[in-house]
A = this chain, B = another copy of it.
Amino acid sequence: MEPLLLYPDPPPPELAQALDLGGYPWKSVADELNAQRVEPDDGWAGAIICADIDPEGAFSLCRALRKRDIPLEPVLLLVSGAQLSDLELRDDLFDDFCLAPFHPRELEARLKHLFWRTGRGTRPELIEYGELVLNLETYQAACAAKPLDLTYMEYELLKFLASHPGKVFTRETLLSRVWGYEYYGGARTVDVHIRRLRAKLGEEHANLIQTVRSVGYRFGQSRWGV
């Protein structure tokens, strides 16, 4: 995901913290010139402008962002309660605003709704390990940029293993955690699914799933290296 543009530089610590916790990358800038210089190749994902410290600079930056050939959006404004009445005259400079001090979850909800409105969609939930990527929303998996056609149980098994890399699971544990607690069937079922997963991962990545003899299976490298 492209980073968000933040103003001022440095941004308020609680803002930076909220974005970091939410997993949103960001860069802070001091003015429009600075913004152009550090702009990533793919452009900004949006902007969060903090207007309660330096309103003048904030609004002038908003104006500059909007005057670009491709206006930067969405723009989320952080304002204090005392500034609410000033917003009316600047409706065109921002897409949404949030009262400071804000609750991190309100900020995230506003970001998500803004991204939805502006058509950028929300970030998909992903599990990544090396070249392997699992998209939890679309139930799709890919390895080395090549999509894997996994069945339901294969996907669930791989998802469970990949979300605990390095950890060894016995067949019984896998059966109870992936198949369900009340499951009662042969433990060799796990073997077969592991086999099919390895086959679909391809020879090159089959070693992502390792056998730990007389114990079970492990995804990825152990912490001590192999």
Complex contact A224–B106 (CB within 8 A): no
Given the interface pairs A99-B106, A106-B81, A113-B91, the reply to whether A139 lies near B225 with Cβ below 8 Å is: no
Q: Which one, B117, B137, B167, contacts A138 given CB within 8 A?
A: B167
Interface SS of chain A = mixed
Q: CB-CB < 8 A to A91: which residues of B?
A: 112-113, 116-117
Q: Which of A56-64, A173-181, A208-216 contacts B (4 or more CB under 8 A)?
A: A208-216
Interface residues of A, Cβ cutoff 8 Å to B: 81, 84-85, 87-88, 91-92, 96-97, 99, 103, 105-106, 108-109, 112-113, 116-117, 119, 122, 124, 135, 137-140, 142, 145, 147, 151-152, 166-168, 212-215, 218, 222, 224-226
**A96 and B116 alpha carbons, distance in the complex (Å):** 12
With a cutoff of 8 Å between Cβ atoms, the chain B residues found around residue A105 in the complex are: 81, 84-85
